[in-house]
Chain A
Amino acid sequence: MSTMTLGGSDLDASWFLILGAILFIIGATGVLVRRNPLVILICIELMLNAVNLTLIVFSRQLQNLEGQLFALMSMTVAAAEAVVGLAILVDIFHVREVEDIDELSEMKG
């Protein structure tokens, strides 16, 4: 039903989907557990990559190119997010050293 013929052998689409889910969950764990703001950004990139994998798997399974186009768009958005996030971090690091993301809590009211 959901098998795909890749390179001469049959693979099930759900294997790729499970791999994407595992990567996404590991990234979410990193966002929750890690304290360094830089590492949190890296884990967000990991989650975005897992979602890209899912998009491309569905694109291949349905043999519809729009999933790949959407993956390209999401890569662009991820690059823009990384640039702006790193610029904000650099701006904060100029003022003071931040080892813990919880130190940046001046705006919590």
Chain B
Amino acid sequence: MAIAIFLIAAVMAVAGAIGVVAFQQPIRSVLSLVVVMLALSILFLLLSAQFVFVVQIIVYAGAVMVLFLFVIALFGPARELAKTQLRFQSWLAGVFVFVLLVLIWTMLQGIQYRQPERADLGVFGTVQSIAVGLFTTYLYPFELTSILLLVAAIGAIYLSRKKIDEPEGGPVDGLRSATGTGGEPPPSFKT
């Protein structure tokens, strides 16, 4: 049973990942990534990581992907032009990926699996055990994470603010021509 679930989720994940890379339109890549994340969340549940499963669905498939979708909705679907690829890019990428695959494969062969520590699997990965870890042993990293999120939020607001003090720019020009307070008068007024 677990093997069937693993195989289904793995096939979903790999197919979605190939879709992320292969689709030409960014919105299809984003939706393929949602498929990958849902498949990975199934695997997390299989590995008895319940809390990470919930966080994966809420934070990744919910928040982060909606953020990507908003950006795509703001700026429209930009197709990728094949002619802008570098000359040997596909070949070099293939060679690099092959080398990476061989490296990771050899590293996987050399893994020394330690004996498990025999935790109580009844409470392994539940919200309670995660919270005990987060709020006792790893309290300082947890608090630093909140500072990181604060910095990211402030940075995002700073980067995407309206630049009022700059006299030039696209949106300001558009406003000026729309209200008719500057620039050339319409041609019909010249006579």
Which chain A residues have a beta carbon within 8 Å of chain B's beta carbons?
1-2, 4, 6-9, 11, 13-19, 21-30, 32-36, 38-39, 41-43, 45-46, 49, 52-53, 56-57, 59-66, 68-69, 71-73, 75-84, 86-91, 93-95, 97, 99-100, 102
Q: Which of B116, B124, B160, B170 contacts A90 (CB 8 A)?
A: B160
Q: Which of B59, B64, B130, B156 contacts A68 (CB 8 A)?
A: B130
Q: Which of B64, B86, B130 contacts A79 (CB 8 A)?
A: B64
Cβ-defined contact, A87 with B52, below 8 A: no
**B128-184 with Cβ < 8 A to chain A:** 129-130, 133-134, 138, 141, 145, 148-149, 151-153, 155-156, 159-160, 169-171
Considering the chains assembled together, what is the distance between the CA atoms of A41 and B20 in angstroms? Answer: 11
Cβ-defined contact, B93 with A32, below 8 A: yes
Q: Which of B68, B92, B118, B169 contacts A86 (CB 8 A)?
A: B68
**Contacts A/B (CB < 8 Å), 14 sampled:** A25-B101, A38-B71, A39-B26, A39-B29, A53-B43, A59-B47, A60-B49, A64-B116, A69-B130, A72-B52, A75-B59, A83-B155, A91-B160, A99-B80
Cβ-defined contact, A79 with B59, below 8 A: yes
Given contacts A8-B1, A28-B100, A80-B148, A36 and B80 within 8 Å (CB-CB): yes
B189 contacts A by Cβ under 8 Å: no
Considering the chains assembled together, what is the distance between the CA atoms of A42 and B130 in angstroms? Answer: 28
Given contacts A19-B14, A42-B68, A49-B36, A73 and B141 within 8 Å (CB-CB): yes
Query: Which secondary structure dominates where chain A touches chain B?
Result: helix
Q: Chain B: interface residue count, which band?
A: 35 or more
Query: Which secondary structure dominates where chain B touches chain A?
Result: helix
Considering the chains assembled together, what is the distance between the CA atoms of A59 and B48 in angstroms? Answer: 10
Cβ-defined contact, A52 with B113, below 8 A: no
Residues of B within 8 A of A89 (CB): 71
Residues of B within 8 A of A36 (CB): 26, 78, 80
Considering the chains assembled together, what is the distance between the CA atoms of A93 and B121 in angstroms? Answer: 49
Q: How far is the CB of B42 from chain A (nearest CB, A)?
A: 11
Residues of A within 8 A of B47 (CB): 4, 6, 16, 56-57, 59-60
B46 contacts A by Cβ under 8 Å: yes
Residues of A within 8 A of B20 (CB): 26-27, 30, 39, 42-43, 46
Residues of B within 8 A of A35 (CB): 80-81, 84-85
Given contacts A19-B10, A63-B117, A26 and B17 within 8 Å (CB-CB): yes
Specify which of A25, A56, A64, A100 lies most central, judged by the most chain B CB atoms within 10 Å of its CB: A56
13 more contacts with CB within 8 A, not counting A21-B105, A68-B51, are: A9-B1, A17-B108, A19-B10, A19-B13, A24-B104, A49-B37, A63-B124, A64-B116, A64-B117, A75-B56, A82-B64, A94-B170, A100-B81
